[in-house]
Amino acid sequence: QITLRESGPTVVKPTQTLTLTCTFSGFSLTTRGMGVGWIRQPPGKALEWLTFIYWDDDLRYSPSLRSRITITKDTSKNQVVLEMTNMDPVDTATYYCAHTNYYGSGHHFDYWGQGALVTVSS
């Protein structure tokens, strides 16, 4: 059974860097095809895709946030880390990580974490 859980600060100050960790089980990011994505949802707004990381170190970023986000993986810990620099109140959102399979039946997300609410406020 695949599970994912997001962890990190609940409040960050403007201009600070946000670091969120996705800890997962039930799959390995050394297995061909496995991937993890980050998605966020500001209060009352739509889901927004941020980034993907795959087993082969293929990285994909949202063009609108590419300059501010970095995704990395630690396969020994079964973790994926999202960093987002220069945080602003408009970045207040619930941040989700989710599992995907590059070689599956499409680039959908079959398992999600419960999400981590991050508020940007001074």
Partner 1 sequence: EIVMTQSPATLSVSPGEGATLSCRANQSVSNNLAWYQHKPGQAPRLLIFGASTRATGIPARFSGSGSGTEFTLTVSRLQSEDFAVYYCHQYKSWPLITFGQGTRLEIK
Which residues here bind partner 1, judged by CB under 8 A?
4, 39, 45-49, 52, 60, 62-63, 96, 98, 105-115
Residue whose CB is less far from partner 1, 52 or 120: 52
Q: Provide, rounded to whole angstroms, the least separation between the CB of residue 40 and partner 1.
A: 11
Q: Which tokens is 49 given? A: 């895709």
Residue whose CB is less far from partner 1, 16 or 70: 70
Q: Provide, rounded to whole angstroms, the least separation between the CB of residue 43 and partner 1.
A: 12
Residue whose CB is less far from partner 1, 50 or 84: 50
Q: Provide, rounded to whole angstroms, the least separation between the CB of residue 113 and partner 1.
A: 6
Contacts of 112-116 with C-beta under 8 Å, sequence gap 24+, read: 112/4, 113/3, 113/4, 113/5, 113/6, 113/22, 114/5, 114/6, 115/6, 115/41, 116/6, 116/7, 116/8, 116/10, 116/20
Strand partners, 73: 80
